[in-house]
Amino acid sequence: SAAFDVHAIQEKWQRLWEQTDPFRAGGDDDTRPRKYVLAMFPYPSGDLHMGHAENYLYSDIVARFWRHRGYNVLNPIGWDSFGLPAENAAIKRGADPREWTYANIDQQKASLRQYGVSFDWSRVLHTSDPDYYQWNQWLFQQLFERGLAYRKESPVNWCPHDQTVLANEQVVDGRCERCGTEVVKKKLTQWYFRITEYADRLLDDLNQLEGFWPHKVLQMQRNWIGRSVGADIDFEIEGRADKVTVFSTRPDTLHGATFFVVAPDSDLAAELAAGSTPEVRMRFQDYLEKVQKVTDIDRQATDRPKTGVFLERYAINPINGERLPIWAADYVLADYGHGAVMAVPAHDQRDLDFARAFDLPVRVVVDTTAPVTGAIPVIELDAAGEPIDPEGGLDVADELDPAVTGIALTGEGRLINSGVLDGMNKRNAIARAIELLEAAGTGRAAKTYRLRDWLISRQRFWGTPIPMVHTDDGRIVPVPADQLPVELPSVKGLDLTPKGSSPLGAATEWVTTVDPETGEPARRDPDTMDTFVDSSWYFLRFLSPGDQTQPFSQREADRWGPVDFYIGGVEHAILHLLYARFITKALYDMGHVEFTEPFSSLINQGMVILNGAKMSKSKGNLVLFQQELDAHGADALRVGLAFAGPVEDDKDWADVSTVGAAKFLARALRIAGDVSSKPDVVWADGDIALRRVTHRLLADAPALVEQTKFNVVVARLMELVNVTRKTIDSGAGAADPAVREAAEVTAMVLDLFAPHTAEEMWSILGYEPFVGLVPWRQADPTLLVEDTVKAIVQIDGKVRATLEVSARIDAAELEAMARSDERVLRSLAGREIARAVVRAPKVVSFTTA
C-alpha cells in the first residue's frame, strides 16, 4: 500500500541485521538445544530463479520458527561453485571461469540478503576456494588409502559434446544430463569411488528414513541401488578351460534352462565367437557393430524385437549335464551380473520372447496352477525311489503353455520336471537349489546390484585437481599432505575447449612435478573431480568453515550433525543424496563422524511454473527473482510464495498474488500503528472472541510449521489480521488489550514469512529488536475451548429445541443437526418439512406441509 515505503523498511532492517548479525549460530557457551536447517546450496550459474526463491524461503521459515521455539539454529549458505556451467560460459565468452563464478556469487549473495533470509553469514563457503577443495583432496586421499578410490579401465559414458566422461547418474535416457547430447561408450582409465562396497548399507539404512524423507525419493534410491538376491551358478563351456558364471534370481528353475545367452559386447562373447567357425565370426562381428549403436535403455525395452546370433558353442547345465546352445543377444547387458545368463524361457519373459523368435525349446518347471499352501501333492516315484520326471515334456494345460501363449509363468507354484526339487514351492526350491549347487561346488548364494562404482574423473579445468602424481616408472602416488592443496593454475594461456583430455595436461609448468619418494621427474594427474564430490560433504564444512587444519571439527559434527531439516529440488533425489549418504558412511567408518545418515529429514519443494509450463530461457517465460524482488519487495514475494500452496506442490506463478500479499502486509502494519502506544495492559480484559483467534493460532502454528503446512499458517495469520481489524472497528477500538495482543502475536508469527514487516511492527509496538529472536508465546489453554452458542429450532413458528453449536457452524451443518435432533423428530411426528430457513449459528425454522 502507498502508505508504507516497503523498500525503505526492508533496507532499514537489512542494514541492522548486517550490523548486528543476530542470526549467527550460537557457539560453545550456548546451552540451547540445536537445530541444523539447510537448503541445498546454489550453483552460481547466472541469477537466482524462482526455484531458489522457494527453497530459501522454506528453509528460512523453518530456521526462524526453531529460533522462536528456543533452539540454537544453524542455517548456513554457500556456493557449489565448480563445474561445467562456469567453464562453458568462460569458453563462450573467452573469459576466466573464476571471474565469471565469483561475479555471479556476489550477485546471488546480494539477492539473498535482499530477500531477508536469516543465514549465518559468517560461515559462507565456496567449493571453488582452495581452502574448501583442499579437503576434497584430503577426502580423495583418505578413500585412496582405504582402497575406496581406485583406477580402472572400463567402457565409460562419454559426452561427445562436453568431451568428458559422465557418471551413470548423469546419463538421462541415454543423453547427457547437461547438454542433451547422445552419450556414447568409450574405453578409458579413470578414477572411481567404490560406492558399491556400501550398497547394502545404502539400501538397508533407507528404512530408517521412512516417514522422514519423501517416500518417492526412498523408492528412487532403492531402485537405483537395485539389489537382486539369488545365486551365482558356474557353467562349463565345451572347448573352454574355465567355467563361466551367471547370476540368476531363479536358481530353482535350473531344470528349465534350454539355452544360454552372453552379452555381445562382453569379452566372453568375443572369445567364444573367435573360437567358432568363420561364418559365425562374421555374423557375430556384424551383429556387434549394430549392438554398439543401441543404448542400454533400448536394449532392456521389453517391446523391442529380440535379435541375436547363435555362436555354435555349448554350455553344460551343472544340475543335469544338459548341453545348452550359446547365443549372443543384446537383451543381455555386459555390465550387469556377469554379462551372461542361463535362459529359462518358460519362466522369464525376455527369454521366452527370444525362444519364440528363434524357435528354441520351452520347458515348464513350475506348475503355477498348483496350490502353494496346504499339503504338498503326492509325487510319483519310480522303482528306484526317484521322482518320476516326465522327460522335459509339458504337463501343464495348453492354455497355460508359454510356448503357445507367449506369456512366461512367473508366479508362485510348485516345481515339476525338476528332480528332487519337485513339489516344492518357489522359495523353498530356490533355497534347496542353492544348497545343491554349493554341495557340488558349482554355485553359491549371491547378490547383484544395479549400482556401479562412482566415476569421478573429469577431463575439465574448473574442478578440484586430483591430488595424485604419476611417476616415470608407472607408479601413482598421493601428493604429500603438506603439499595440499594442489591449486588450479591460472587459466591464462590454457585452451579450455573440450578436446577429450584435460586442459590441465597442457599447463606444462603446473603438470610437471617430482616423485615425492624419489625426487625423480613426474606428472600431476591432469583430471579434476566430479563436482558431486564437493557437495557430498559440504554440510560438514559449514560446521567449522575457517578451519585450516582439518576438513571439519569432529566435535562440531557431533554437536550439530546430522542435518535436522534438509530441503531442495527433487532433481537431486538420486545423485547428490546418494553420494552424500555414501561419503557420510565412509567418514563414519574412518571415525570422523558419529552418525551414518547425513540428513534426518528431507523435503522436496515443488517447482515454480508459469501458466502451466516449466520456465526456461529458451521458452522465454522466465520470471526473474531479482526483478520480482525489486518490484514487490522481499516480504510480498515471500508471503505470496508461502501462501501459493503446499510446499511439495508445483506453484503456478500466474496464481501467486504478490499484490494480495502486499495488501495483507499493509493491513498488518496499520494495526500495529493503531495500537502504537505501549500501555500497561491486562490481557484478560481483552475481547474474548479475538483472544480466542489469537491463541488458537499460537496453539496450532507449531504443528503446522513442523508439518511444513506453511500456506495454512499464512491463511490463519490473514484471518487473525481480519478479525483484529473488525474488533478495532466495532468493539472497544484499538485500546482493547486483545487488539494489542493480536498485533504482537501477528508480528511474531509473521516473522517466519515477512521478517521486515514483522520487525517494523514490533518496533512500532514499542519493543526493541529483534522480533526474530523472541520466544514463542504460549497459548492460554482456557482460550482454546471451542466457542459455542445456543441455536433455536422452530417448527411452524414454535421453538421445539435448542442446540449447543459451534459459533462457526455453517448453515448446512446446522440444518442437518436440527433435522436429526430427537426432540425435533418427536415434534414433527412424521410430518414432512416443506421449507427450512436457516440463519447460522442462531436459528433454524422449519415449516411443515
* Chain contacts with ligand ANZ (rule: CB under 6 A): 228, 247-250, 253, 263, 332-333, 336-337, 339, 341-342, 344, 347-348, 448
Place of cell 577431463: 459
Phi and psi of 529, rounded to 5°?
-90, 150
- Answer whether 522's CB lies under 8 Å from 514's CB: yes
Residue 797 burial (CB count, 10 A):
8
Least separation in angstroms between residue 262's CB and ligand ANZ is 9
Separation CA 226–CA 199 (nearest Å)? 9
CB 683 within 8 A of CB 778: no
Query: What secondary structure letter does DSSP report for 418?
Result: S
- In terms of Cβ atoms closer than 10 Å to its own Cβ (0-12, 13-18, 19+), residue 176 is buried
- SS3 of residue 407 by DSSP: coil
Q: CB nearer to ligand ANZ: give 363 or 541.
A: 363
Specify the residue, 334 or 824, whose C-beta has the smaller distance to ligand ANZ.
Answer: 334
Smallest distance from ligand ANZ to CB 350, Å: 7
Amino acid identity for residue 4 in this structure: F
Q: Name which of 253 and 658 has its Cβ closer to ligand ANZ.
A: 253
Per-residue CA distances from 290 to 38, 265, 451 (Å): 48, 11, 26
Using CA atoms, how far apart are residues 225 and 448, in angstroms rounded to an integer?
10
Neighbours of 318 (CB within 10 A): 21
Q: Report d(CA 599, CA 593) in Å as an integer.
A: 13
Nearer to ligand ANZ, 64 or 363 (CB): 363
What is the C-alpha to C-alpha distance for residues 770 and 665, in angstroms, rounded to an integer? 18
CB of 544 to ligand ANZ, least distance (A): 43
Residue 242 C-beta: closest distance to ligand ANZ, Å = 18
Closest separation in Å from C-beta 233 to ligand ANZ: 8
User: Closer to ligand ANZ at the Cβ: 368 or 621?
Assistant: 368
SS3 804: strand
Q: Which amino acid is at 615?
A: M
- Closest approach, Cβ 353 to ligand ANZ, in A, equals 13
Rounded to the nearest whole angstrom, what is the least distance from the CB of residue 401 to ligand ANZ in the complex? 15
**617 annotated as a binding-site residue:** yes
Positive/negative CA dihedral, 283, 286, 292, 294: negative
CB closer to ligand ANZ out of 315 and 738: 315
Query: Of 65 and 235, which CB lies nearer to ligand ANZ in the complex structure?
Result: 235
Nearer to ligand ANZ, 342 or 496 (CB): 342
Residue 96: alpha-carbon gap to chain centroid: 33
Strands, E, within 645-765: which ranges? 651-652
Query: Tell me, what amino acid is at 711?
Result: N
At closest approach, how far in Å is the CB of 322 from ligand ANZ? 15
CA 9 to chain centroid, in Å, comes to 37
Tell me the CA distances in angstroms from 141 to 149, 477, 582, one per residue in order.
Answer: 8, 10, 16
Let me know: does 660 contact 138? Beta carbons within 8 Å.
no
Binding site membership: which residues? 617
Binding site membership for ATP: which residues? 617
